Amino acid sequence: MKQFQYVHPSTQQSVLDAINKPGTKIIAGGTNLVDLMKRGVTAPDKLVDINRLPLKGITATKTGLHIGALALNSVVSEDNLVVEKQPLLSMALKSGASPQLRNMATVGGNMMQRTRCTYFYDITMPCNKREPGSGCGALEGFNRMHAIFGASPQCIAVHPSDMCVGLAALDAVVVIAGRKGERRIPFTGFHRLAEDHPETDNHLAKDELIIGVEIPDNNFAKHSYYLKVRDRQSYAFALVSVAAALDIDNGTIRQARLAMGGVAHKPWRLFDAEKALIGKPVSEESFKQAAQIAMQGAKAYQYNAFKLKLAPASITEALKHASGLV
């Protein structure tokens, strides 16, 4: 690991001033960034520690819930407001990483974590995300964990977060501070598909700072479920995950929210499947039909073709749990 400067500013403005320089990275929990530095994947000249900023609050607002960017994953998952109003987020967070990592990881850091693609982490292998123009080792390599939606010839890596899948399903909004003031981005538009620039994971500018996320009130608390299919019960990234939320009235679905993890370069929202569920009865048949609609456009690679069956089965299972059929 190369030597770097370390600063610990105490105000938001001083953070914004510090990060407005090349070679600078923000650090909070460091659960991903430090690993990347140790492996030589990234080598910042300066780290800006933002833990002095007052961004840990979890508060109810007139329209929903505000969660500060420095709120710990472990705290958010157990917070009474979150468990009561947005249980899907709590379930997603508890599915991620390990208790030790959740005790360090922050909401903002979770959003900014990078792919766990083995070709990205191995600096001896080609990776357009790590070194643009070098190629994608996963395309012809061992791509069992890789994307089936929205992939690009430049990159078929997937986004690793469980929390982000939950937030995408809940219509969350990212609150961002910059030198020109605050702005808000719908969560589904925050992360990018790889396209021709896989090195760019999201739409956060280099001189901007995530200060929180906002989740609007909804009627999904009674019928939410997060399903994560993985190789082992804990401390493993998703082969496929599904965040499912339903608003049900007398056995009929009034609203639906669905998002998937482990299948795309970003949390993958299933808008067409959601629309297909509206007005349908709560039944396994309704859920299977929506799952098939969700799979339109899916494309597998040599070692991940199993996801073409696993994904719709997981969507159906998550919806059955959310609705109370099982």
**In the predicted model, what is the mean pLDDT of residues 275-297?**
98
**In the predicted model, what is the mean pLDDT of residues 42-64?**
98
By three-state DSSP, how is residue 5 classified?
strand
CA-to-CA distance for 66 and 123, rounded, in angstroms? 38
- Return the pLDDT at 72: 98
Give the residues across from 253 on adjacent strands. 248
Residues 6 or more apart from 285 whose CB is under 8 A from it? Answer: none
- Return the pLDDT at 1: 84
Encode pLDDT of 178-187 as tens digits: 999 999 999 9
**In the predicted model, what is the mean pLDDT of residues 8-32?**
96
**Share of residues in the chain with pLDDT > 70 (%):** 100
Residue 193 has pLDDT above 90, yes or no: yes
Residue 213 has pLDDT above 90, yes or no: yes
Average pLDDT, the chain: 97
Nearest in space to 208 (alpha carbons), one of 2, 9, 12, 53: 12
Residue 245 has pLDDT above 90, yes or no: yes
**In the predicted model, what is the mean pLDDT of residues 247-269?**
98
Residue 3 has pLDDT above 90, yes or no: yes
- Under DSSP, the state recorded for 113 is P
Give the residues across from 175 on adjacent strands. 184, 212
Encode pLDDT of 139-167 as tens digits: 999 999 999 999 999 999 999 999 999 99
99-116 residues labelled b (16+ CB within 10 A) or e (exposed): eebbeebbbbbbbbbbbe
- Return the pLDDT at 194: 98
- Return the pLDDT at 300: 98
pTM for the full model? Answer: 0.98
Nearest in space to 296 (alpha carbons), one of 279, 275, 280, 281: 275
- Return the pLDDT at 307: 98
**In the predicted model, what is the mean pLDDT of residues 213-219?**
98
The pair of three-digit structure tokens given for residue 302, joined into one six-digit string: 């040599």
40, 101, 145, 159, 198 from 171: Cα distances, Å: 35, 26, 26, 18, 24
**In the predicted model, what is the mean pLDDT of residues 80-107?**
97
**Share of residues in the chain with pLDDT > 90 (%):** 98
Residue 137 has pLDDT above 90, yes or no: yes
Angle (CA) 270 277 309, round 5°: 55
